[in-house]
Structure 1
């Protein structure tokens, strides 16, 4: 039996079932329905043509300008390191020659003085003459050896493989701290260990009493050296120096990642370092005292103080800075107010120290400890709240995004790579996988 068209008020007989809407339609409405679908192709055609035109004018060089700039900076840094190493070896060679020539110069001077003394006294013996003659012949042979000497210089080719530069897609999504409870590794902290953490793409630096230790991405100790320089207040990584920077009470130390050698490069008297952080070319270090100041150092060609930011540009007279973290042209300051027992995170412009935003969490501190923070991807921040045992994820515009309970209470945290977070407590360090 024939069916009527499903379109309201249409009395014509159905000619077919429409696959799109599953309705029985007459021939006229089938044609209209088909025409309607075809008409929707025209805007899609316009859109694809517009995207084609955009692709023709797309500037690839502009899109990858920042990445090329990083590669160029890496190349320049490598050239500088090679030049520096070359100059060092030339100085070693010059020193070797000067040392040999210097000994002969001293011997020559001694002989001259002896001869002058004998002439002035008008008294000598055959034994004196023979001894001087023998010494002069010996000096002559030594000088001949120096002139004819050949120094062995062994060199090896400089090998560069793909591990020196890795190219991948930028992490353009914000980290989801809700997955933080996934613990990859936990390492115990011996009694007397300092809680500070620092990392680069390869290693994490941590004090494990009595040593300063480098951990790999699986939290295995790969290198260590005895630390005998007292309290560690903070540490950070400098890419341009290719060194870790460690703050003692009054001193700044450089740690060589390859040799674990420790060099003292700066000292201040009568004031205590509090925290440090690095941009590409500048070291920022804060003084932990009321009305804290921030000192700004150049890193190359030498670590030298270029500016000291003081109260009231840094904080009020009743406040002190406990942490300073650089990321993407910004400085995040953790500021504690002693009379009010309040804590806030202040985002500043790294060049002018002008305030961008301030976030004050619901924290009232009572313990005699300091608060810390670290940077996350997408210009977000993580504030470590040891008072109530929490990690506070803060958006790039200074709003609370997530609050994560953490037990035992966290002291420090740092992003290790793009998808791992290391957090230190009183008893251990935990490595978390995050997304």
Structure 2
């Protein structure tokens, strides 16, 4: 298959982390070289840092996609109480995914086999490929497994079309975003075999509606994807559906075991473990920290600490998707002093209210201080700064920080 990574998307919040991780373990058990995008709003960095190592050891990667900000407020009504608002997150796949084709998977499923045939399906001019809903008993297709033509979604601004249709229809539809997706793509999708989205969770509905033929369908060999639709979930204390034990097997499966099975097949790669070569700090009383995102992207080997005494606005919280940015909202002076003491450089790059005591600490610990021309402290002696860079040319600051990093490395090597 070569080393081409295959794009997969999950979406969910931290309350659903066990289900997300179970689904991820199951697909990784049978498929390597996966680039997994996880659309979320609140999953901590530490979880991503650890799971990313496992994915990279299997030739893949894990991308933290934070849906934070006004453009991601999914305040649409949903008539199915067991479905979380994060289900609408799949609308935003084109915002994050760079590949032309991507496999979207719900988190209430497990993969039991190799999905190469599905990944390699030619979508042609269709917007997606999906399986019919509830073995044809439901309306249209089930949206829990979607092979998406992301190139087409991007070029035709499908995200905006989905948002506008949802704004108009969300109170009228029975199945949330699944109904909306069916409205938009009812005649422009490829129907795929039910083995790729075997809705085992329909057992309860089939029994209620007297559809015995569904319960008599052969599940030997196991379908390639078992989808536990409805509220009768296998992780509930009790459920009436079949194959609870399959979900629990994957849930308890160790990542180390999954990695080792690929290693035995000769598929093992080095993980890119984050080991910062320099640390920078900023204390802010404002959401506006000049060029922070640019610096974090341009300097992946530098660890940036951003602290505040208050809650942080979305503009700062979204930076938590970078593994080299640590945020400390609601912090205290004694903790901030500790972070500064352990940092190499202080970045005076926040706007508006400045907290005076930080400059005393910078002086106390003899930390070099950098600023932008529009963030430097007014009426402050310029000689207190190592350098004042143009905010319109943030690459100047990048170069200065790089020089510090090189000097630090030389210093460490000389010991």
The normalised TM-score by structure 1 is: 0.23
Q: Which has the higher strand share?
A: 1
Larger Rg: 1
The normalised TM-score by structure 2 is: 0.24
Q: Which has the higher helix share?
A: 2
The structure with higher relative contact order (CA 8 Å, sep 6+) is 2
